[in-house]
């Protein structure tokens, strides 16, 4: 299968990907309207972000270079201290950038 990736072909491809992404995000919100948010569902949602973080970083721990491993340690430390994944991810990215810059 061949897609034209110049001119309007590229714009159409980007628009199609945007629509698929939008449909999956809105579809999740639409489906969750019928899920009761009891304590069990709230615990699941709270644990899910940490699980995704571990799933993304585990291959880095096994196959990454020194900068990646130091970023992983920084991410883990900030996550343990702050209990918030977004600042932990930002700190890990900053550490990897700093180590690779020097």
**Could you state, in order of their start, the residue ranges of all structural domains in the chain?**
1-35, 48-102
- Please state, in angstroms and rounded to a whole number, the distance separating the CA atoms of residues 14 and 2: 15
Give the per-residue pLDDT at 6. 67
Beta strands in the chain (DSSP E): none
Give the model confidence (pLDDT) of 41-96 as tens digits: 888 888 887 788 778 778 878 888 888 889 889 988 999 999 888 899 899 999 99
61 vs 14 pLDDT, higher one = 14
pLDDT band for position 2 (cuts 50, 70, 90): low
Give the per-residue pLDDT at 3. 61
SS3 (DSSP) at 61: helix
Output the pTM of the full model.
0.50
- Please state, in angstroms and rounded to a whole number, the distance separating the CA atoms of residues 77 and 40: 27
- Please state, in angstroms and rounded to a whole number, the distance separating the CA atoms of residues 4 and 39: 50
Give the per-residue pLDDT at 5. 64
pLDDT band for position 7 (cuts 50, 70, 90): low
94 vs 13 pLDDT, higher one = 94
């Amino acid at each position: 299968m061949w897609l034209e990736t110049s001119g309007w072909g590229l714009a159409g491809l980007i628009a199609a990907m945007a629509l698929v992404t939008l449909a999956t995000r809105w579809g999740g919100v639409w489906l969750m309207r019928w899920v009761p948010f009891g304590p069990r569902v709230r615990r699941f949602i709270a644990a899910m972000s940490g699980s995704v973080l571990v799933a993304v970083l585990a291959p880095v721990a096994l196959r990454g270079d020194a900068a990646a491993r130091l970023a992983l340690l920084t991410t883990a430390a900030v996550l343990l201290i702050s209990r918030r994944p977004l600042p932990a991810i930002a700190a890990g990215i900053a550490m990897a950038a700093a180590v690779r810059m020097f």
